[in-house]
Amino acid sequence: MKAHLMYKDRDFDLKGELPSNRQALTQDLELSTLFKSMALGDDFLFEVAKKAVLSGLNNLDTILYRQNILKDCLNNPSIIRDIYDITIESIERKKKTYFGFFNRYPSSILHSSIDVLQIFVDILKKLRIIADAHADKFASEGFRLFFTMLKKELGDEYFACVQNHLEELKFRNGVLISAELGEGNKGSNYILRKPQGKTQDKKESWVQRIFAKKQPVFTIFISERDESGARALSELKDKGINLVANALSQSADHILSFFNMLRTELAFYVGCLNLYERLAQIGEPVSFPLPVDAGERRHSFKGLYDVCLALSLEQKIVGNDVNADGKDLVMITGANQGGKSTFLRSIGLAQLMMQCGMFVPAESFSSNICQNLFTHYKREEDTTMNSGKLDEELGRMSDIVDKITPNSMLLFNESFAATNEREGSEIARQIISALLERRVKVFFVTHLYEFAHGFYDKKLKNTLFLRAERQNDGRRTFKLVDGEPLQTSFGEDLYNGIFGTGS
């Protein structure tokens, strides 16, 4: 039995390693704000959100598979939260038993696994009841398969059969074990046998039964004072039930891991629900994005905002409309504090959210999926290290180049500005030209006029230039518009703004 709510054909791996660029992404896109809003203080939800968002999907079908499941969740939030709570209950109640503790005696192992299985049977029945009551409210392929599976696998007959085993394994009529003579004629190959109940022999006539050759039976009694004999006896019994205790415990483990998996996979959607409800409170719109193949070049959206900024300001913020379809390079220049960084972050966040199957913070959004997302941001100078700032930047760049593949996306924010403009421009020019030739999609926020304008002069069809806008009165709109790179970044405005000397 599998949940398969994250992938159609496999489990979601919470323990697997995160991509190596996780730290830079988390820092540059302020992802923890996003995770926190999804987790609402729950460590487990945080963990799952982080894992899911950072290990994005490269497969269109799977993205849509999750989108549909998420839509079901948004339509049935209370049912989803109920199921999620049931999975937690199973894990909590298991913790109160002795199951899973190290034990040297198969009989104790068997006993504790019977206890825990009894609990699990309860919980499975609850799941089954939910499936019976609400399955018809779900439209997505993922949930339809999930509920069908619950109904099929957890029928009344099955529960009866399990119950029967759990009773039988208490061995009220003694333990029947077969054995052979092993090394040195010691008993070996102990196998637990199911006694042939008298009821099974109905066909046998009473005549046959009377004349059946009676097999000799010998009986050994262990006297009550014979302690070592009693020990030997229970060891013999333990050898007999060793395998069944193992089978039963493993079954309990498997059911537990089913619950764990179900909990983990639902946790992602519960996180999405939390975020969705939060954004609704703020009044920010969300929409399901339209992903297209990685080989295409698409980036068009309306009202795209930086979800993390909205969450931390707890208010509606300015969104951007851009059409960058067919573009490999988007170069962003313009006024300081004009919303360039916020814009760049919203690009990265939307991409990550889309590629893990979530809704995106925009009125509408479509982009090509990317193989991998990298960020290269200007960093505060690290005083503990000897290597110069440019050295450090280029070091990080080199790490990225080690890992990047065609059809990945790379976000640059004020990179290579740690030297004079001419050198920085030349470095940037060489790097970006090479990346573009290797089919890497690039968003570049920069003040390097020579670099930016150099590309502008080439008049390439696959390049888009955006500029942080400034009204004629010097105030920023925080909206970006198409436009040629300009020589200054309106530092004067900033100066004036701060010093209050402006017009």
Q: How far is the CB of 224 from other proteins (least distance, A)?
A: 7
By CB under 8 A, tell whether 221 contacts other proteins.
yes
Please say which residue, 14 or 74, places its beta carbon nearer to other proteins.
14
Q: How far is the CB of 439 from other proteins (least distance, A)?
A: 37
Q: How far is the CB of 8 from other proteins (least distance, A)?
A: 17
How many positions of this chain bind other proteins (CB under 8 A)?
Answer: 72
Q: What is the C-alpha separation between 383 and 474, in angstroms, rounded? A: 36
Q: What is the C-alpha separation between 353 and 52, in angstroms, rounded? A: 9
Please say which residue, 221 or 499, places its beta carbon nearer to other proteins.
221
Q: How far is the CB of 158 from other proteins (least distance, A)?
A: 8
Binding other proteins by CB under 8 A: which of 91, 133, 139, 243? 243
Please say which residue, 182 or 326, places its beta carbon nearer to other proteins.
182
CB burial string 19-56: b at 16+ within 10 A, e below: eebbebbbebbbbebbbbbbbeeeeebbbbbbbbbbbb
By CB under 8 A, tell whether 343 contacts other proteins.
no
By CB under 8 A, tell whether 87 contacts other proteins.
no
Please say which residue, 31 or 124, places its beta carbon nearer to other proteins.
124
Q: Within 366-395, which residues bind other proteins (CB under 8 A)?
A: none
Q: Within 152-171, which residues bind other proteins (CB under 8 A)?
A: 153, 161-162, 165, 169
Residues near 405 by beta carbon (within 8 Å), at least 6 away in sequence:
371, 372
HEC readout, 54-115 = HCCCCCHHHHHHHHHHHHHHHHCHHHHHHHHHHHHHHHHHHHCCCCCCCCCCHHHHHHHHHH
Cβ pair 48, 268 in contact under 8 A: yes
DSSP string, 403-421: H--TT-EEEEESTT-SS-H
- What residues are paired with 470 via a beta bridge? 476
Question: Which stretch in 53-61, 99-107, 349-357, 407-415 sits in contact with other proteins by CB under 8 A?
Answer: 99-107
By CB under 8 A, tell whether 219 contacts other proteins.
yes
Binding other proteins by CB under 8 A: which of 160, 212, 220, 498? 220
Q: Within 260-319, which residues bind other proteins (CB under 8 A)?
A: 261
Binding other proteins by CB under 8 A: which of 43, 101, 104, 398? 104
Please say which residue, 230 or 385, places its beta carbon nearer to other proteins.
230
Binding other proteins by CB under 8 A: which of 136, 156, 196, 283? 196
Q: What is the C-alpha separation between 494 and 503, in angstroms, rounded? A: 12
- What residues are paired with 291 via a beta bridge? 367
Q: How far is the CB of 169 from other proteins (least distance, A)?
A: 7
Q: How far is the CB of 9 from other proteins (least distance, A)?
A: 14
Q: Within 105-134, which residues bind other proteins (CB under 8 A)?
A: 105-106, 109, 113
Q: How far is the CB of 87 from other proteins (least distance, A)?
A: 14
Residue 134: what residue type?
A: H
Q: 182: which DSSP letter?
A: -
Residues near 83 by beta carbon (within 8 Å), at least 6 away in sequence:
127, 130, 262, 266
Binding other proteins by CB under 8 A: which of 56, 142, 240, 338? 240
What tokens does 35 get?
Answer: 């995770």
By CB under 8 A, tell whether 472 contacts other proteins.
no
